[in-house]
Structure 1
Amino acid sequence: MTIVIIIWCFGFSTIAQDDPNHNNVQTYFNEARTYSNKNQIDLALSSLDKAAALAEENKDVKTLIDSYNMFALLYLKLDKVNTTKYYWDRAKVLLGEVEYPYGDAIYKYIEAILLYKENQNFQAIFMLGEARQLNNDRNFFNNILLVEGNIYLNLEKYESALKNFNSLVVNTDVYEKDYLASKAYIGLARTNIKLNNFEEALSNAQSALKLADENGFYLEVVEGNQLLSKSYEGLERFEEALVATRNLYTAKDSLFTLEKIKIETKTADEIHSENMANEIKRQDKRIEELSKSANKSEITAILTSAFLIIISLLAVSLYRNNQIKLKTNTLLQTKNSELQAARDEAVNAMEAKTNFLSTVSHELRTPLYAVTGLTHLLLEENPSENQKEHLKALKFSGDYLLNFINDILHINKIDADKLEPLNMEFNLKKVLKEVIDSLQQSAKENNTEIILDYDDTIPSHLMSDPLKLSQIFMNLIGNALKFTKNGEVKVVAQMVHKEEEDVTLYFEVLDNGIGISKEQQQKIFEGFEQGSIQINREYGGTGLGLTIVKSLLGLFDSQIKLQSDLGQGSSFFFELKLKSKDSIVDDIPFELTQKDYTFKGLHLMIVEDNKINQVITKKMLSKKEITSDIASNGMAAIDLAKKNKYDAILMDIHMPGISGEEATIEIRKFDQITPIIALTAISLDDSLESFYAAGCNDVVTKPFKPEVFYQKIGENIFDNRENGSLSS
């Protein structure tokens, strides 16, 4: 059943008490109000037209303002907004000629209703408050309460709405006591239905209907039956709901007859046309009067006066312009100072946010290292199948949390302008193959094939930042795999243009997965955005991957673009401008084989201030038959390095006292040979370049994967021995 709600009450209060024809005009206003409340709009307009004619005849501006305001309210009840605004504007013009607080109050009351109809709820409430300040008439105050209550109901401020409606149920209004009470009961019924208080709503609807029937408030009869039916439905009293619905249709049939609508429309149009014609006649008469008085002498006098006025105005204008310039300069200086202060405040706030996120993400890594490390050790100690299942779940959760922390830190670094692209030689095909190989396991889990479509005319040696490019493709391909099952993900790299060493390349990652709706495409690159709550629940993830891609491409002055259809798959594409190094001979194979190292007999130093991390790192080394000493701070590490010989030093960076970087610098003063590997929960202000500059041979970020940890140890000890040098 469709529920139609009529919420507006158009009340008419007393007119200006100093009107010489007060009694006659007041009679017409009373008739108009009575007819309006009974929804007999044609008769209401006719009575109001008589009041306006009488005001016009007696040149009573205040009564004419009241008439225009009331015309506006009646046409608003007919939903003729443009006609409403015509009379509203006419009232405004006359209000500029006289001091009339009551007229201003009604004018603002109408403005509040227009604002509400445009869904500007808070502005409407503000305007009602303005109107209330201008007049304390009881009838006017009650009508404001009613409109305000309906606005509160629309804003779901149910307590405020109930307060307004309850105060009107027992109103003592001289003009509209029963009408206001019936509207109040309707408001209470609507509010209680929203709150699922169907018993209370039923009682309210019955009270409204009783008053409406007794007084012939036909619209309220319709509304009362609507709410009665809705209340019975809520109480599951369906037979009574059906009866109320039948009564509703009967009331509507009697109220909204074709003949009645025709009469109302005809009357409304005729009166409006007549009023507009009268206004045109008044203007024509004024023009004619002015034309007759314009003889030659008068014209000369007028021209002379106009000339003198123009000269005076120019002089005044020049003076005012000079004053305005002085004030403007002062104002601009003040505003510049305010803007500077606001900018400084914004910068401080951004720095505070950045430092907070950096500290949090860094501090989370330390306990997470314990979680991932202990999980790895427990998995290697032959757990039972039941325990193994739980440990694998714990490992997955740890890896997921680590990726999330890494994403936050990465976004934070980009926001803080801590990232700049490097410019080093690399092989693009090798980078893409390494990314694809690392994601093959995810592809197998989704039964999805990754296809590389690589243009072999792309130069083998390019200059850019291969690490950031890897991150871009890791996120794009990983994202495509997540939303593609039993399908394929295609990675395209094509040459667009090459001129000497300047190369423009086109990249695209396509999938035939679930696709993205047009609506969600507008915000898919925003932080923590995954398209919908359902997608997040089904596929997981943080929604930061595409944000990182967009930010990283921004470092290369490039822009990610998207084409997608829901259910048909997605395509992400972009272009990059790079430099090529054609003179370099390609003698490096694409595939790098991972080596197996024999670690037995190695002796390492662990520099770590966290006791749990000490135990975990030492046990991981023991698993490979590596012995170790532990230094709990930088000074202890320097002392041990002077007294003993180690195959490598595992150096934590963030420690109390002197940092890992400072300790490395001191060790390098007397030992240039021993490999030093930085193990760090890298934070916002950390720089890999500064680690290498201090003398570190390599960097492993905590928490790390065990296979990466062992691989780095092997590379820095055994590979450097083969090369004959271990210096940094």
Structure 2
Amino acid sequence: MRKTYFHKKLLKLLPLFALLIVGLSLRSQDTVPVRDMDPYFDQARRLRNQNKIDQALETLDKAAEEAEKDEDIKGLIDCYHELAILYLKLDREKDTQFYWDRTSVLLADIAYPYGDAIHKYIEAILLFRADQSYQALFMLNEAKQLNNDRNFFNNILLTEALVYLRLEKYESAAKNLNSLVVNSDIYEKDYLSTRGYLGLAELHYKTENFEESAKNGEEALALANTNGFFSEIRQSNSLLAKVYGKLGAYEKALSNSTNLLDIQDSLFTIEKVRVEAKTADKIRDDYKTEEIARQQNTIQELKESQNRSELTAILTSAFLIIISLLAVSLYRNNQIKLKTNDLLQTKNRELQVARDGAVQAMEAKTNFLSTVSHELRTPLYAVTGLTHLLLEENPAEHQKEHLKALKFSGDYLLNFINDILHINKIDANKLEPLHMEFNLKKVINEVMDSLQQSAKENKTKLILDYDSEIPNHLMSDPLKLSQVFMNLIGNAIKFTRGGIVEVICKLKEKNGEDVTLYFEVKDNGIGISKEKQQSIFDGFEQGSIQINREYGGTGLGLTIVKSLLGLFESKIELRSNLGEGSSFSFEIDMKSKEELEDEIAFEITKGEYDFKGLHILVVEDNKINQVITKKMLNKKEISCDIAGSGEEAVALAKENEYDAILMDIHMPGISGEEATIQIRKFNQTTPIIALTAISLDDSVESFYAAGCNDVVTKPFKPEIFYQKIGENIFDKKVRTSLS
């Protein structure tokens, strides 16, 4: 019978107590390798969705055994959570509560945000099943704050939708379910889409929109049949039988009823339920039996320890006289300790109050910066847009200089706002690195290509030294890595004029799928003095006031780099001599995926689009912004209609055909998101591009869930504005014709 992590720890503690008595200490030199648990969880998830519960239980039992063997506490927590979810699938809440309690004990002694998030997610489901819907929504929101894993977020959306359906909050439920229908989950894409269609069918049935209910029910049934989601096949047939009965389509209702009986007779049999129950009982009872055995072993060891203690008691009696003489001294010491403890408790309460105040201050700062961001971006759109239009209208030479200065100031202010918001987001612990497959060389080349113009202006040559031994397919966060290189290479170019900036990428170590990569960005620019190298990574630091005035910038680039690398558990190293140049280096651990073949993806070559003759709807409540956007479109011979509110946009979209819709998000009346949702009810094809003055990282999921095809943050560069319009109108048509 296997010993668990707890039992092994108890055995290790007994000799440790003995060593403490004689004043010795030991340090363990052994390291235990942690096995990859993902294959078990992937298999269990697939079996669960196909309603093969007994096989899923056995898979997770093996995973738990591996986790115990490796003393992998996080892996064991994940196993117990998955078991708890499976028992929910069997409607055995008591067994779910049993495993939930086990993870509560483990989570109390370890910092594991993902485990805490799943823990709250399961608690929310238990609350929902106990008819405590509002408490369930609160707990789901708590879980959402702890982790941003895409699969976890999608399952949160599904559970929220079920709660909203019970509370008859149909608009909120529809928003979540529509998002699930078009999800891009890498683990459960088809399953979540099936549940999304099934939820929409139930929603429309409750609101007596039976035709829409039948349409979504058929979509759910088709996906369920394709993927073998037997529970969803049964639910879809059951619901469609009722819907077609309401529509008077009795032949279809009879067909679905027959299908329902067939699947119940063939798959949901008494024998299957008996096997699942037997497997579930065995796994749970085996765990309880082993727990009892562990307790008995512990009792036996304590008895043996008691026998050894009898000999110790004889020796101990010799010390009783000495102990009695020390009793008075100990009593006095205890009184002092009591007073000290009271003082410490008082200080702890004061620290708790101070901590709460600091948290509130951080939240206030975050909210303040978010509000200021929106309020500053809106007038900045007018400044940059009007400047661009004036420069396009062939101004006089003496006006060009002033307009270019105005454009530079607007761009500088926008970059400054973005840097401050990025630092704020990292400080608030709202960023976690993603884990996705990407090509590193492509990411670095794209960054260098985007900075070539700046290098040419400084007459600086960009060189890439890329190790050919680096695997083509790596697993990490390409977006945050590109931000790191963008800041480091951009800084090197800015402080190097007429020189060389070299980017070095080397494979330092490779062990199976684990790789360690070394990166270095070096230049022969102005360099950094020794006294400034310690503070150069602090916010708003640029070496000196003279450097700031000559080269510009906010001094936040290296602060962002240091914070982003901290998310990868990496540190940046600096070597520099004044007047000779600088070198910034760091290492990052990644996973390689060598078995993946290089894909030759179809790409549309970026170039000039022929916009002439296009007709676009512009939805914008700000009068100045209306004028700027209209003039920018007219420059490309694009005609447009203007809608000053969300209600007007919906009405115009019903009456006219447009090549695209530019949708402002924040408007009085109904918002841009709500207007998009209403338009998508009768128009699924016209591209809708969201124009928003908020930070793109904050709400992009809700925009896409509402039905937007793309998002552009105001103020935007004109070339990006035109490129987005071209991609969503012309590139979409090309891809559609190829599919």
Per the alignment, residue 397 of structure 1 pairs with 409
Matched, 1:555 2:567: yes
Q: Is the 8 A contact 1:359 1:683 kept in 2?
A: no
> Is 1:367 the counterpart of 2:379 in the alignment?
yes
Name the structure 2 match of 1:657. 669
Selected match of 1:623 from 606, 630, 635: 635
Give distance in 2, aligned partners of 1:584 and 1:549.
Answer: 30
The residue type equivalent to 1:628 in the other structure is C
Q: Which residue of 1 aligns with 2:700?
A: 688
Find the counterpart in structure 1 of residue 447 from structure 2: 435
Deviates more, 1:717-726 or 1:347-356: 717-726
Indicate the SS of the match to 1:674: coil
Question: Any conservation in 2 of the 1:673–1:726 contact (CA below 8 Å)?
Answer: no
Is 1:596 matched up with 2:614? Answer: no
**Aligned-residue offset at 1:311:** 9.9
**Residue 710 (structure 1) shift:** 0.6
Return the offset for 1:635.
Answer: 2.9
What SS is found at the alignment partner of 1:686?
helix
Question: What residue in structure 2 maps to residue 499 of structure 1?
Answer: 511
The structure 1 residue matched to 2:369, chosen from 357, 368, 373, is: 357
1:536 maps to which residue? 548
Which string of whole-angstrom CA distances, capped at 9 and with x for unpartnered residues, describes residues 319-372 of structure 1?
Answer: 323333433343333232222111100001111122222222221111111111
- Matching of residue 647 in structure 1 with residue 650 in structure 2: no
Counterpart AA for 2:397: E
Q: Which residue of 2 aligns with 1:720?
A: 732
> What's the secondary structure of 1:457's corresponding residue?
coil
Number of residue pairs aligned between Structure 1 and Structure 2: 419
Greater shift after overlay, 578-587 or 410-419?
Answer: 578-587
Query: Is this contact kept in 2: 1:430–1:591, CA < 8 A?
Result: no
Give the distance between the partners of 1:459 and 1:312, measured in 2 at CA. Answer: 72
Please say if 1:700 is aligned against 2:700.
no
Query: What SS does the aligned partner of 1:563 have?
Result: strand
Give a deviation string over 1:434-460, Cα, whole Å, max 9, x none. 211111121122211010111122222
Change (3 A) 1:692 1:500: farther
CA distance in 2 between partners of 1:512 and 1:334 (Å): 57
User: Does 2:557 match 1:545?
Assistant: yes
CA distance in 2, matches of 1:398, 1:617: 17
Could you tell me which amino acid in structure 2 is paired with residue 524 of structure 1? I
- Paired residue for 2:28? none
1:312: how far off?
10
> Do 1:672 and 1:726's aligned partners in 2 also have CA atoms closer than 8 Å?
no
Q: Is the Cα contact below 8 Å between 2:571 and 2:586 reproduced in 1?
A: yes
Aligned to 2:698, what secondary structure does the other structure show? coil
Residues 399-430 of structure 1, C-alpha deviation per residue, up to 9 Å, x if partnerless?
11111111111111111222233333322212
| Aligned residue number for residue 598 of structure 2 | 586
Question: 1: distance between equivalents of 2:604 and 2:430?
Answer: 31
Which residue is 1:462 aligned to? 474
CA positional deviation for 1:313: 8.2
1:605 aligned to 617, 624, 637, which one?
617
User: CA 1:725/1:686 → structure 2, altered by over 3 Å: closer, same or farther?
Assistant: farther
Which of 403, 421, 426 is the aligned partner of 2:438? 426
Alpha-carbon distance between aligned partners in 1 of 2:630 and 2:472, rounded to the nearest angstrom: 43
Residues 1:574 and 2:608 aligned together = no
* Residues in 2 aligned to 1:722 and 1:684: alpha-carbon distance in whole angstroms: 27
For 2:404, give the aligned amino acid.
K
Would you say the 8 A contact 1:673–1:725 is kept in 2?
no
Please tell me whether the aligned partners of residues 448 and 484 of structure 1 are also in contact (alpha carbons under 8 angstroms): yes
Whether the 8 Å CA contact 2:695–2:713 is kept in 1: the answer is: no
The question of whether the paired residues in 2 share the 8 Å contact of 1:412 and 1:684 is answered with: no
Contact 2:384 2:410 in 1 (8 A): yes
1:597 partner letter: Y
1:430 and 1:590 in contact (8 A); partners too: no
Alpha-carbon contact 1:425-1:462 (below 8 Å) kept: yes
| Distance (Å, rounded) in 2 between the aligned partners of 1:327 and 1:590 | 74
Q: Secondary structure at the match of 1:572?
A: strand
Q: Are the aligned partners of 2:373 and 2:694 in contact in 1 as well (CA < 8 Å)?
A: no
SS at match of 2:520: strand
Given that 2:496 and 2:524 are in contact with CA atoms closer than 8 Å, whether structure 1 keeps it comes out as yes
Give the number of the structure whose alpha-carbon radius of gyration is greater: 1
Whole-angstrom CA distance in 2 between matches of 1:676 and 1:590: 23
Give aligned-pair identity as a percent: 81
Kindly state the Cα deviation for residue 726 of structure 1 after the two structures are TM-superposed: 13
Stretches of structure 1 lacking an aligned partner (at least 5 in a row):
1-309
SS at match of 2:501: strand
Please give the alpha-carbon distance, in whole angstroms, between the structure 2 residues aligned to 1:499 and 1:350.
42
Distance 1:666 1:417 in 2: 35
Secondary structure at 1:485 match in 2: coil
CA 496–320 in structure 1, closer or farther in 2 if over 3 Å, else same = same
Q: 1:321 aligns with which of 327, 330, 333?
A: 333
| Contact map agreement 1:648 1:717 (CA 8 A) in 2 | yes
- The unaligned stretches of length 5 or more in structure 2 are 1-321
Q: What does 1:109-258 correspond to in 2, within 5 Å?
A: none
Any residues of structure 2 matched to 1:456-495 within 5 Å, and which?
A: 456-495=468-507
**TM (normalized to structure 1)?**
0.55
Q: Measured at CA, do residues 439 and 591 of structure 1 come closer, stay the same or move farther in structure 2, by a change above 3 Å? A: farther
Q: Does 1:509 align with 2:521?
A: yes
Change over 3 Å in CA distance of 1:663–1:500 after alignment to 2? farther
**Stretches of 4+ moved more than 6 A in 1?**
310-313, 589-592
Cα pair 1:678 1:700 within 8 Å, conserved? yes
User: Any idea what the Cα deviations from partners look like across 1:27-53, whole Å, max 9, x if unmatched?
Assistant: xxxxxxxxxxxxxxxxxxxxxxxxxxx
- Paired residues of 2:433 and 2:476 also in contact (CA < 8 A): yes
Query: What's 1:63 paired with?
Result: none
CA distance in 2, matches of 1:676, 1:640: 14
Asked if structure 2 preserves the Cα contact closer than 8 Å seen for 1:674 and 1:726, the reply is no
TM-score, length of structure 2 as denominator length: 0.54
Give a deviation string over 1:53-109, Cα, whole Å, max 9, x none. xxxxxxxxxxxxxxxxxxxxxxxxxxxxxxxxxxxxxxxxxxxxxxxxxxxxxxxxx
Distance 2:648 2:329 in 1: 81
**What is the Cα deviation at residue 377 of structure 1?**
0.8
What is the CA–CA distance in structure 2 between the aligned matches of 1:518 and 1:592, rounded to whole Å?
Answer: 49
1:414 to 387, 412, 426: 426
Change in Cα spacing, 1:642 to 1:619, as seen in structure 2 (3 Å) is same
8 Å contact kept, 1:413–1:684: no
- What's the counterpart of residue 175 of structure 2? none
Return closer, same or farther for 1:494/1:569 CA change in 2, 3 Å cut-off.
Answer: same
Range with greater deviation from structure 2 (484-493 or 457-466): 457-466
1:335 aligns with 2:347: yes
Amino acid at match of 1:397: S
With 631-640 and 598-607 compared, the bigger mean Cα shift is at 631-640
Amino acid at match of 2:448: I
Distance 1:599 1:507 in 2: 43
Alpha-carbon separation, structure 1, partners of 2:699 and 2:713: 12
For residues 576 and 701 of structure 2, the distance between their equivalents in structure 1, rounded to whole angstroms, comes to 40
Could you tell me how far apart the structure 1 residues matched to 2:595 and 2:721 are?
Answer: 36
- In the alignment, the residues of structure 2 paired with residue 592 and residue 475 of structure 1 have an alpha-carbon distance, to the nearest angstrom, of 28
Alpha-carbon offset, residue 690 of structure 1: 2.8
Q: Please give the secondary structure, in 2, of the residue aligned with 1:724.
A: helix
